[in-house]
Structure 1
Amino acid sequence: MICGSTGAGKTTYAQALANEVDGFVFSIDKWMITLFGDDTPEELTPAWFMPRVERCEEHIRSQIIRLADLNVPSILDLGFQRKDHRNSYYTFAGEHSLAVKLHVLDVPVAVRWGRVERRNASPDRDGSLKVSRPMFDYIETNWEPPEQDELARA
C-alpha cells in the first residue's frame, strides 16, 4: 500500500517497487482515466469521482486475490490518504490472509503542488488526472498521515 497525498510521488514509487519485487501495480488514476477519461468533467468534484473510484477499487480487490493465488505481489497506488481507507484494506487483507506493507511518502505541500502543476502542464500526464488547485486543497483536507500505532501495525 503506497500512502501519500496528491503529488507525493506515489505512482513513480509504485512502479519502481513493482520492478523490484516483480509485482503488479494498481494505479487508481490510470484506472479512472482508462474507464472514465472521456466522461471526466472539466472540474473534478468528489460527487463525480468518489463513486467511480469505489467501483474501480471493488474490481481491483478481486484482482488482488487472483494475483495472490499466483504469488504476484499487488502494489496499490490508491492514495490511502484517509485512515478509514487504509483500515478497509487492512481488514480486506486479514480476511484473505494477505500480507500488508505500508509505504508512506511524506512530502511537503509546496513541493507536491509544484509537481502537480508541472504534471498538469505536461501534454503527456502519464495516466494522471488533471488536478486543479481547489481539488488539490480539498484532497488536503482529507489527508490523515499514519500515526505510530498504524506504522507499527503495517
Structure 2
Amino acid sequence: MMIVLVVGSTGAGKTTYARKLAPDLPGVVYSIDNWMKSMFGADMPEDPQPEWFYENQQWYVQRIARCEKMITDLATQRAKVGQQSILDLGFSTEEHRKLFIDHFKDLDIPVSIHYLDVDVDERKRRVRNRNAVKGDTYVMTVDDSLFGYMEEIFESPTTSEGVEVHWVGE
C-alpha cells in the first residue's frame, strides 16, 4: 500500500498524470479540482474567472480544507485495507505536502512524491490550451496573473521532505 502525492506547478499535467498512473499502480485518484467542482460547483459561478477566486478566497480555502480532510480519511481507510491512493491536491508548498506526509507516516503508511518537472513555457502553453478547449481537466480559467502567482508560491519538492521523490519529465 502506498500514498502517492502528485506534485507540479500549474499546467504540469498533474491530473492527466494521476489518471494515467492509476491503472498501473493500481490506485484510486483523488483530484481536488474534481471534488471542489462536484461538491461546491453549484455554489459558484458557472465558469468562475480568477477575480472570483480572489474575492472569495476564504470561502474557497475553507471548502478545499473540508475536501482534503475527507480525501485524507478515505485514503487512510484504503491504505489500511491494502489499497493505494493517488492524491492530486496541488501540493504547491512544502508545508502543504508536510501535513499529508506527516499524517500518513504517523500511521506507518508509505508515501512517495511524483514530481512533474515541466518547463514553464510548456506549462503556459498547456494552460492556454486548457483555457481555450475547456476539456475534461478544465475547472477554471487560469489567466497570466494567477499563473504568475502560482509560480511565485510553488516550491519544488526535495528528498529532504523525508519521502522518495520520483522526477517525471515532460
- Given candidates 119, 123, 128, the residue that maps to 1:117 is 128
Residue equivalent to 1:153: 163
User: 5+ unaligned residues in a row in structure 2: which ranges?
Assistant: 165-170
Task: Find the aligned partners of 1:90 and 1:126 in 2 and give their Cα distance.
Answer: 26
Contact 2:130 2:138 survives alignment (8 Å): no
Q: Which moved more, 1:39-48 or 1:134-143?
A: 39-48
Counterpart selection for 1:64 from 67, 75, 92: 75
Choose which of 90, 100, 113 in structure 2 pairs with 1:79.
90
Asked whether 1:52 is paired with 2:63, we answer: yes
Give the 3-state SS of the residue equivalent to 2:112 in structure 1.
coil
Q: Which is richer in strand?
A: 2
The unaligned stretches of length 5 or more in structure 1 are none
Q: What count of residue pairs does the alignment treat as equivalent? A: 153
Select which of 4, 7, 17 maps to 1:3.
7
User: Match of 1:130?
Assistant: 141
Change (3 A) 1:77 1:53: same
2:163 maps to a residue whose letter is R
1:36 partner amino acid: F
| Alpha-carbon contact 1:67-1:73 (below 8 Å) kept | yes
SS in 2 for 1:61: helix
Matched, 1:98 2:98: no
Q: Does residue 1:29 correspond to 2:39, yes or no?
A: no
The alignment partner of 2:40 has SS state of: helix
| Range that drifts further, 108-117 or 36-45 | 36-45
CA distance in 1, matches of 2:83, 2:131: 32
Tell me, in whole angstroms, the C-alpha distance in 1 between the residues paired with 2:124 and 2:42: 25
| 2:95 aligned partner, one-letter code | D
Task: Show CA shifts across 1:115-148 (max 9, x none).
Answer: 1111111143435332222222211111001234
Alpha-carbon distance, 1:38 to partner:
2.6
* Residue aligned with 1:102, SS: strand
Runs of 4+ in 1 over 6 A off after TM superposition: none
The reply on whether 1:144 has 2:148 as its aligned counterpart is no
**Residue pairs, 1:14-25, within 5 angstroms:** 14-25=18-29
Q: Distance in 2 between matches of 1:91 and 1:148?
A: 14
Of residues 41-50 and 78-87 in structure 1, the stretch that sits farther from structure 2 once superposed is 41-50
In 2: Cα distance, 1:127 partner to 1:25 partner:
16
Structure 1 counterpart of 2:168: none
